[in-house]
Amino acid sequence: MRIDLHTHSSVSDGTDSPSELVAAAAAAGLDVVALCDHDTFDGLDEAVAAGPGVGVRVLRGLEMSAQHQWDSVHVLGYGCRADDTALAAELARVREGRNGRVPAMLANLARHGMPVPVDVLQRQVGASPSVGRPHIADAMVELGYVADRREAFDTWLADDRPIFVGRYAAPLGRALDLIRGAGGVAVIAHPWGRGSRDQLPPALLAELAAAGRLDGLEVDHQDHDDATRVELRALADRLGLLATGSSDYHGLGKADHGLGCNTTAPEVLAAISERVGERGGALA
């Protein structure tokens, strides 16, 4: 069984619609795929409905924007109840923060000689309920300012680059608690990717695991090299955490994150399913 537990659709910052994503998962030979759009559940019904027609089991997921000591952390939530009022309110606040910084970022771009017309940006946003940096990056690509998303982030949009503007994200502990409180399973996404090892050291992960706030770590991910994966898997085993693997697929947005490039073991999915059931969540 081939299981990919982290993908994105055009409802957040992917380039495939939810149903196109599920069709692509079938074409890639996946049996199970989790849709984990950023800070929203809006694409899940469409994706779940598309699954039976192509023989793919679609799981209800989420990637929640969090922060620890002002550093960005992404938390995957599996099986959360979408109608949980506390989680819904926090996600709305996160989306508002994401949207609220857009005018300042566009102004920064204009000051650097790269104006982005509203209609060009909106074309990239499409059906997403919030505007993210990847949408701005795609607009920059369309306008010929950069070659691809990676160049846009590396040169202009990353946290330490000239265009960046900060925004609200949920404190890490609160994000974990809200996900679990909504019946979900909480897994930190790509915990040691792109220099984030210093922000999420083993001692912090051990503290969260010991407190029963964290369920797992996304170990097999394109941002982790082989040595990092070995170290993270050993840490997860030592702390009693689930170790997942996934593509973090964004369609054309991340060319080296093809569906199924990393997968999760069936026994790990079974453990996730059991926990979601115990907590009153809904995985599918």
Give percent of the chain with pLDDT exceeding 90.
90
Amino acid at 162: P
Give the residue-averaged pLDDT of 179-194: 96
Alpha helices in the chain (DSSP H): 18-27, 44-54, 85-100, 102-111, 118-125, 133-142, 149-152, 172-181, 202-210, 226-239, 266-279
pLDDT at 126 exceeding the cut of 90: no
Question: CA quadruple 87, 60, 17, 72: dihedral positive or negative?
Answer: positive
**Which tokens hold the place of 51?**
């699954």
* pLDDT score for 7: 98
Tens of pLDDT along 192-241?
997 778 999 999 999 999 999 999 999 999 999 999 999 999 999 999 99
* pLDDT score for 127: 78
**Entry pTM:** 0.92
* pLDDT score for 279: 98
Residue 45 CA neighbour count, 13 Å, CB half: 3
CA angle, 203 then 206 then 210, to 5°? 140
Give the Cα separation of 223 and 83 in Å (integer): 32
Backbone angles phi, psi at 73, to 5 degrees: -135, 135
Whole-number Cα distances in Å, 57 to 26, 29, 35, 201:
10, 12, 11, 34
**Which tokens hold the place of 189?**
């996404």
Whole-number Cα distances in Å, 180 to 176, 177, 185, 233:
6, 5, 6, 22
Q: pLDDT confidence of 252, banded at 50, 70, 90?
A: confident
For 217, left (φ over 0), alpha (ψ -120 to 50), or beta?
Answer: beta
Residue spans of the domains in the chain: they are 3-92+172-279, 102-157
Q: pLDDT confidence of 128, banded at 50, 70, 90?
A: confident
Helix 18-27 with 44-54: angle, nearest 10 deg: 30
**Which tokens hold the place of 1?**
């069984």
Q: What is the dihedral of CA 67, 250, 220, 210, to 10 degrees?
A: 30
Tens of pLDDT along 48-89?
999 999 999 999 999 999 999 989 999 999 999 999 999 999
**Which tokens hold the place of 127?**
């059906």
Tens of pLDDT along 1-35?
999 999 999 999 999 999 999 999 999 999 999 99
Could you identify the residue written with the tokens 């996934």?
Answer: 246
Tens of pLDDT along 259-280?
999 999 999 999 999 999 999 9
**Which tokens hold the place of 83?**
């109608």
Please tell me whether residue 4 adopts helix, strand or coil conformation: strand
* pLDDT score for 18: 98
Give the Cα separation of 123 and 236 in Å (integer): 41
Q: How do strand 3-7 and strand 32-35 relate by DSSP bridges?
A: parallel
Average pLDDT taken over every residue of the chain: 95
Tens of pLDDT along 150-175?
999 999 999 889 999 999 999 999 99
Gyration radius from the chain CA atoms:
18
* pLDDT score for 255: 77
Domain 3-92+172-279 - what CATH class? alpha beta
